[in-house]
Amino acid sequence: MPVLEQAFEDTPWPLKAWRALARHIGGLGVAATVVVGLAAVPLLFVIYSSSQLSLSGWQALWSHRLPSLLWNTLSLAVLVAVFSFILGVSSAWLIARRNFVGRKMATWLMILPLAIPTYVFAHIYTILFEEDGWIGSLWLNIFGDHLAIPDLYSIGGVTFILSIAGFSYVFLLVRSALAHSNPSLEEAARIQGLSPFSVFWRVNLPLLRPAIAAGLALVVLHVLSDFGAVSMLRYQTFTLSIYLQMNGRFDYQGAAGLSMVLVLLSFSFLIFERWSRSRQRYYASGTQLRRSKLRNASIFEQCLIWLWLGLITLFAFALPLLWMLDWSFQAWQQDLLDAAFWSYVSNSLIVAAGAATLAIIVAFPVAFFHTRKRSTLSASYIQLSSIGFVLPGPVIALGVLSFILTVLSPLYGGLAALLMALVVRFLPLAVQSQEAALQNLTPSIEQAGRILGAGPLENLRRVVLPMISNGMVVAWVLVFIDAMKELPATLILRPTGFDTLPVRIWIEASEESLELAAPAALMLVLGTLPALWIMMRNEKQVVSKA
Amino acid sequence: MKRYWQQGLVGLLLASFLAAASAVQAEELVVYSGRKDKFITPLIKKFTEETGVKVVLHTAKSTALLNKLRIEGDRTVADLYISNDAGNLQTGSRLGLFQKIDKDLTKVIPADLRADDDTWVGLSARARVLVVNNNAKDLAFLKSVFDLADPRLKDRLAITHSSNGSFIAGVTVYQLSTSKAVVKDWLQGMKDNVGGKLFSKHSKIVKAVASGKKDVGLVNHYYIYRHLAKYPDAPISILIPDQQDMGMGVAWNVAGIGISKHTKKKALAEKLVAYFLSEQGQRQFAAVNNEYPTRKGVEAAAEVPAAGSYKVADVPMQKLGMHRIETLDLLDVIGMP
């Protein structure tokens, strides 16, 4: 024993600490530590760079920037949350509680907007709202000069774009929660004489709180990290301001200082959201197998329902799609879709599939560690792994770039940097859906496997992974969809001459080449559709997250 | 299962190595370009045809690419950097990202359109001018860009938002030609005149002036000719400002090119620069975008007012980089939208 202790003392302290940690948390914990360590690279970059910011630098930020940025960002987040709530909850309730013609299709129509990135929405709507655009000219026909065409370059415009781009998250989570909630409660309330609206207000809504909170949290995090729409509409949020600080003034420290504030803001929001959800868990009592019966809607109701859902669809999917089809057709007629165009498509698919695959692999230890060995450490790992959601894309890209150049420089120049940035950005999606899937897996099943003689790896392969495969698929799809649409990190980190669809859309849009931006956007939507289909098939797994 | 993962990971790493390796071929140049693709690809196609050298164009915003170049340091794959703004080019020189270009190449370009240490050279130039609607009334007083702050132009003026690179460069020139106080008042006056209604693109300004929604706009000269090429009957004309006896002259800005400090293909890179600066290349620059060729003796397109026929502000292009941050601060203080 003394010999061993001696050997232990000779080793340098970081190694010693590491070994102690490894013994304490096991192989799984070590793997989780490595993953979280890598995910935290951009955060360390931000902390380091902002620590270089002088006091006067902070004061300058505080007096010139922060107040208006805080106001802009927070008011936008609140507005988008309110509108996403209205759109998402109303459509979810109608589809989950009423039977009407085309109900299945309506479900699809409500999630299709997820296939369109915010910068595509912004680009298309700025064109449609111009005086000679579809909406602009219609507006002039109706109102003439009495009422000016709404200006999209404003908080209202950005709210509109981000709400139609984001309400689907709320819809998905709330609809699932409604579909799986216990109908007896509503029936009891009805029997006691409440009107349908009161039932919704006093029974459904409180029960739906966790689902709504989770959906709105996703929406708000997307607002905080959105780069595409705010940069196209020039609405100064933290993300855009950080980008300008880096790229207009070459001031990394100032940018890092702003990022630091944004990180604190987002983290406190995340922690608050988790905390409020942890206190709000509703358990179904025993006999819950009965599904609630859909009430058939009358003809009049059906008209109203479709009027509302149709209006949402019109703006959130139909108009942008029609625009893309129109201009894509012109591009096709002009023979503009050459080999280069198809290489953008395949590049996008490669990057998104690669990032999604890597993300679900590296997310597994983090999620598994938290479900099996729940501790303060594992919980903080979960929090840390959500760093990708709270840091703006350009900042993640710079952090990863600096890290790869200094630590893994042989890897630089290929896809490694881009893939790492995308994995860091979307790791939270993978971790959360896997964590949700793992929660359904009671430890006793695993123990049974072990008792029957399976080793840890065999147990993992034959028991754990098959049981959470649905969750894995959902995780893969979620990352794939977001990675397909990702713009800011891809712009900075793509290998030279390696253009993806978002990059091309962005370039063509800034050059006002509509006939080239449109087919790229259309391919992006088409490329995302299969992923959405897989997700809907596995939808039950998403539910448990709420 | 785990083995598959490992194999997959190894495969992925290999793939990225291969991608990295294939990016570096012998007769190939990598250009970080902040210029619009359509203005540069015709020239590059021609260059490749004539020399057989392949050029990989990596397009993004000028400033973002400069940042990338800076962070990459000696790991960069870029051989050349193109920007549409002299301010960016000079910032790159200041940060030590470029190397000297052979004097024999640059000497055909006037000294005020390139860096004084030859670390970058201007390729094409553009003028900040006014576009006016021919039917607009009471514009006789309009002689200088500073008249744009005149309250008589309330709601009649069209300008871009202040994060536009050309706008920033123009403000820098005016500041260097007059004083900070003058420019500050001017910006404030314009801010009052536009009342929050700004334009996201120069092309939209020209369109608004042509349709009569606005009477006057501040733009780069080629946007006017681009619009006229599409709509020859548009009731707009160019007004070249600040030509009075004591006037400061028109603000110019150049798009230019620098050779990356860490390129391993300097000779090849200079070949591309030489092509861009050749009479043929310069004529092409003039043709694709109605800009002024920087090379002495090569004329701009016929419809464009000839260089030399009007007074240009006496501000060397490299100063645009040196005073850029001051301009940004000024815009911030005023809260220019």
Which domains does chain A show, CATH number per domain? 80-281+291-317 (1.10.3720.10), 334-546 (1.10.3720.10)
Q: What percent of chain B has pLDDT over 90?
A: 71
Of A225, A419, A491, B63, nearest to A504 by C-alpha is: A491
B94 touches chain A (CB under 8 A): no
Query: How close, in Å, is residue A262 to chain B by CA atoms?
Result: 21
Residue numbers in A near B58 (CB within 8 A): 496-497
> CB B332 to CB A492 under 8 A?
no
Tens of pLDDT, residues B136-192: 998 999 999 999 999 999 999 999 988 888 999 999 999 999 999 999 999 999 999
CA nearest B161 in A: which residue? A234
CA nearest A417 in B: which residue? B16
Does B8 lie in the same domain as B70?
yes
Q: Name the residue among A411, A491, A512 with its Cβ closest to that of B60.
A: A491
Bridge partners, residue B59, by sequence: B33
CA nearest B9 in A: which residue? A358
Asked if residue B314 is part of any domain, the answer here is no
Tens of pLDDT, residues A29-38: 899 999 999 9
Does B270 lie in the same domain as B200?
no
For the ranges A12-26, A262-276, A529-543, B264-278, the lowest mean pLDDT is seen at A529-543
A281: left (phi over 0), alpha (psi -120 to 50) or beta: beta
Residue numbers in A near B212 (CB within 8 A): none
Does B247 lie in the same domain as B150?
yes
pLDDT at residue A279 greater than cutoff 50: yes
Does B143 lie in the same domain as B131?
yes
Rounded to whole angstroms, the Cα distance separating B64 from A440 reads 45
Does B99 lie in the same domain as B138?
no
B68 touches chain A (CB under 8 A): yes
Q: With cut-offs at 50, 70 and 90, classify the pLDDT of residue A266.
A: confident
CATH number at residue B232: 3.40.190.10
Does B165 lie in the same domain as B108?
no
Per-residue buried b or exposed e for A105-124, using 16+ beta carbons within 10 Å of the residue's own CB: ebbebbbbbbbbbbbbbbbb
> CB B30 to CB A496 under 8 A?
yes
Query: How many CA atoms does the CB half-sphere of A521 hold within 13 Å?
Result: 34
Q: Is B114 helix (H, G, I), strand (E, B) or coil?
A: strand
Q: With cut-offs at 50, 70 and 90, classify the pLDDT of residue A197.
A: confident
Structure-block tokens of residue A537: 């098939």
> CB B163 to CB A497 under 8 A?
no
Asked if residue B11 is part of any domain, the answer here is yes
Rounded to whole angstroms, the Cα distance separating B193 from B154 reads 4
Of B328, B337, B238, nearest to A236 by C-alpha is: B337
Residues in contact with A34: Cβ distance below 8 Å, sequence separation at least 6, in sequence order: none
Angle at B285 between CA B279 and CA B290, to 5 degrees: 125
> What is the extent of the structural domain holding B138?
126-251+324-334
A491 touches chain B (CB under 8 A): yes
Residue with the two structure tokens 């359109």:
B113
Angle at A372 between CA A367 and CA A375, to 5 degrees: 85
pLDDT of residue A286: 47
Q: With cut-offs at 50, 70 and 90, classify the pLDDT of residue A281.
A: low
Tens of pLDDT, residues A211-238: 888 889 889 988 988 898 998 888 989 9
Rounded to whole angstroms, the Cα distance separating A329 from A312 reads 25
Does B227 lie in the same domain as B183?
yes
Residue numbers in A near B211 (CB within 8 A): 131
Asked if residue B89 is part of any domain, the answer here is yes
Chain A / chain B CB contacts < 8 angstroms: 107
B14 touches chain A (CB under 8 A): no
Asked if residue B224 is part of any domain, the answer here is yes
Check the CA dihedral A389-A168-A488-B21 and report its sign: positive
Rounded to whole angstroms, the Cα distance separating A413 from B156 reads 50
pLDDT of residue A2: 47
A304 touches chain B (CB under 8 A): no
Residue numbers in A near B328 (CB within 8 A): 248-249
Is the complex ipTM higher than 0.85?
Answer: no
pLDDT at residue B20 greater than cutoff 60: no
Rounded to whole angstroms, the Cα distance separating B274 from B277 reads 5
Task: Assign 3-class secondary structure to B251-301.
Answer: CEEEEEEEEECCCCCHHHHHHHHHHHHCHHHHHHHHHHHCCEECCCCCCCC
Asked if residue B310 is part of any domain, the answer here is no
Chain A interface, best mutation among B59, B88, B168, by max A CB count within 10 A: B59
Chain B interface, best mutation among A472, A496, A500, A515, by max B CB count within 10 A: A496
Overall domain count for chain B: 2
B306 touches chain A (CB under 8 A): no
pLDDT at residue A434 greater than cutoff 90: no
CA nearest A354 in B: which residue? B12
> CB B23 to CB A497 under 8 A?
yes
pLDDT at residue A41 greater than cutoff 60: yes
Task: Assign 3-class secondary structure to B20-55.
Answer: HHHCCCCCEEEEEECCCHHHHHHHHHHHHHHHCCEE
Asked if residue B317 is part of any domain, the answer here is no
Check the CA dihedral A413-A416-A417-A422 and report its sign: positive
Does B114 lie in the same domain as B223?
no
- Cα A78 to chain centroid, rounded: 17
> CB A409 to CB B63 under 8 A?
no
Does B87 lie in the same domain as B172?
no
CA nearest A510 in B: which residue? B36
Does B246 lie in the same domain as B190?
yes
Reported pTM: 0.86
Of A106, A141, A24, A40, nearest to A380 by C-alpha is: A40
Query: How close, in Å, is residue A249 to chain B by CA atoms?
Result: 7
Does B202 lie in the same domain as B155?
yes
Residues in contact with A50: Cβ distance below 8 Å, sequence separation at least 6, in sequence order: A253, A256, A257, A259, A260
Q: Are A8 and A16 in contact (CB under 8 A)?
A: yes
Asked if residue B119 is part of any domain, the answer here is yes
Pairing between β-strand B98-99 and β-strand B54-59 as defined by DSSP bridges: unpaired
Q: Is B122 helix (H, G, I), strand (E, B) or coil?
A: strand
Does B328 lie in the same domain as B190?
yes
Asked if residue B189 is part of any domain, the answer here is yes
B-contacting residues in A 395-424 (Cβ below 8 Å): 398, 401-402, 405, 409-416, 419
H or E element that contains B73: none
Rounded to whole angstroms, the Cα distance separating A220 from A226 reads 10
A457 touches chain B (CB under 8 A): yes
pLDDT of residue A292: 63
Chain A interface, best mutation among B70, B75, B155, B322, by max A CB count within 10 A: B75
Q: Are A372 and A404 in contact (CB under 8 A)?
A: no
